[in-house]
Chain A
Amino acid sequence: MRAVVTVIGKDTVGILAKVSSICAEYNANIIEVTQSVLQELFCMIMLVDISNLSVEYAKLSSSLDELGKQMDISVHAMHEDLFNSMHRI
């Protein structure tokens, strides 16, 4: 199972590091990363393999939410299938 992690917000030092360290902590394998900085807005999308998570998926999701709040950015993890079903026929 794979999840899409999105990070959107003001560009600050260490966003990528913090998100990936949470992924590493829970054994979520990062498969692909795309990121861009448009003007000052940082936008990163990660495709993460979560089939061998060391914790419940809800824990990963809430930790990422928490990180988002701390850094005042928006961080979300959502199941890949949601995007596939919405945007692919």
Chain B
Amino acid sequence: MLNTYDILETIRMIQDQCLDIRTITMGISLLDCIDPDIDRSCEKIYEKVTRLAQNLVKVGNDIETEYGIPIINKRISVTPIAILAAAAKGDPVKFARTLQRCAETCGVNFIGGYSALVQKGYSAGDEALIRSIPEALAVTENVCSSVNIGSTKTGINLDAVRLMGKIVKEAAERTADRECIGAAKLVVFCNAPEDNPFMAGAFHGVGEPDCMINVGVSGPGVVRAALAKYPDADITKISDIIKKTAFKITRMGQLVGTVASERLGVPFGIVDLSLAPTPAVGDSVAHILEEIGLERCGTHGTTAALALLNDAVKKGGVMASSKVGGLSGAFIPVTEDAGMIEAARCGSLLIEKLEAMTAVCSVGLDMIVVPGNTPADTIAAIIADEAAIGMVNHKTTAVRLIPAIGKKEGEELEFGGLLGSGPVMKVNANSSSKFIARGGQIPAPLQSLKN
């Protein structure tokens, strides 16, 4: 029989340490919904998505009851809509409204894929779609958008970076009455993964099969609790403890993904080995770093501690899952992490430090609130910096900034739910306009020439 200690450990993880499956995301290809008539294309999308995902929420809830493990989100990702917009003439926002209807019918809380991949330049449909993002995010509630503006292989499309600076700001302005939520649903990527189950950046890449299930796990609280038992362990031992814990967390993700894919009759894609925080007490990545020995997240030593954490999570997780993908690493979204929020409020955590942290962990500058009067070119320059880190280091980086319209440093935005809340953070006031205005393509780095 199972060992009593093991059983109790699992139960404690779920009940006291916020262990959960963060998301089951169904990726759906819309390539067969392409049509020169935009209305016809929208009909095909609605039919296909609601047919394939009709049982997604039910199956998720069933697994949750049966296995006793909370599954927080059920979501859908689709083929980047810019590809469909390229063939169909008309207002791309129609696609966003269709995706919103799909989300409502299926009961999912987010649908991602209002996206364009423009790392080397715009093709038909890309620019129109990007320019429609602020409106699309303002008129819909559950649609998420992402734009890939760079990669190690192609370099960085500075024209697109410049445009995205404006789009991020406009997305916030158009939803200024709703805590600028538009910008929280928009991610700007470098090296975007095609099988990422996490929002807001999830989309279903063109190399993916027609339909598949990807799973994102969570569990910062479990890691912290495991570390708390060893206050005097040396750092090698700390890494080992994190590895073992990550293994257990990921096994659970693998199990849930396998069961969900069987029940939905859809192939199982990947487990995203992630530590994804929530604003709930005891579910914070920053608190893990503090448990490792930092007085406050953001102080000197944070980058090193995070590098160790991120590496150990991957090492533990990779053996626990047959297929690993997505973003896979520790997330550091400021407004979604109780410890990060505290650190940002008290001035310990600054944007510059966060940027350094993104060089050694998953994702990038995520859920950071900046002053509403930050110039679009400065936002673009922040995107360019972050993309450069991703490009040179062969990793995914992303930027999700929320310009708090009408607010300045020290004030706060309050999104509620998983998106949390956060203080407006200081941004360097010196201009980057001339650099951004140059436009063109930052050439691919030497690292890309591996053949």
Contacts and interface: CB of A to CB of B under 8 A. Distances in A.
Interface of A: 4, 6, 8, 32, 34, 36, 43, 45, 47, 57-58, 61, 74, 76-87
A76 B68 contact: yes
Contacts, number: 67
B327 to A, nearest CB: 23
Contact of A83 (B10, B15, B65, B254): B10
Contact of B65 (A8, A58, A80, A87): A58
B429 interface: no
B251 A86 contact: yes
B10 A82 contact: yes
Interface in B24-83: 62, 65-69
A34 B67 contact: no
A34 B5 CA distance: 12
Given A82-B68, A82-B255, A76 B1 contact: no
B446 interface: no
B449 interface: no
Nearest to B65: A58
10 contacts: A45-B2, A57-B65, A76-B68, A78-B68, A80-B2, A82-B68, A82-B255, A83-B2, A86-B252, A87-B2
B323 to A, nearest CB: 15
A77 B68 contact: yes
B65 A47 contact: no
B21 to A, nearest CB: 11
Interface residues of B, number: 22
A86 B8 contact: no
Contacts of A43: 4, 8
B11 interface: yes
B3 interface: yes
Contact of A74 (B1, B15, B255): B15
B6 interface: yes
A84 B69 CA distance: 14
Nearest to B259: A81
| Residue of A34, A81, A86 most packed against chain B (CB within 10 A) | A86
A6 B2 contact: no
A45 to B, nearest CB: 6
Given A6-B8, A82-B255, A87 B67 contact: no
Nearest to B6: A87
A81 B67 contact: yes
Contacts of B69: 78, 82
Given A82-B255, A85-B254, A4 B2 contact: yes
B251 A6 contact: no
Contacts of B6: 83, 86-87
B261 to A, nearest CB: 15
Contacts of B8: 6, 8, 43
B101 interface: no
A11 to B, nearest CB: 16
Contacts of A6: 7-8, 11
B255 A32 contact: no
Contacts of B15: 74
Nearest to A87: B6
Contacts of A34: 1, 4
A80 B251 CA distance: 14
Contacts of A78: 10-11, 67-69
Contact of B255 (A8, A36, A47, A85): A85
Interface string B231-272: 000000000000000001001101100000000000000000
Contacts of A4: 2, 7
A79 B66 contact: yes
A78 to B, nearest CB: 3
B291 to A, nearest CB: 22
Given A6-B8, A6-B11, A74-B15, A84 B66 contact: no
Contacts of B251: 85-86
A78 B1 CA distance: 15
Q: Which 3 A-B pairs have the closest CB atoms?
A: A78-B68, A87-B6, A85-B255
Contacts of A77: 68
A47 B1 contact: yes
Interface in B65-105: 65-69
B4 A32 contact: no
A41 to B, nearest CB: 11
A1 B1 CA distance: 15
Given A6-B11, A79-B68, A87-B248, A45 B255 contact: no
A81 B69 CA distance: 12
A81 B15 CA distance: 18
Contact of A45 (B7, B66, B68, B252): B7
A13 to B, nearest CB: 23
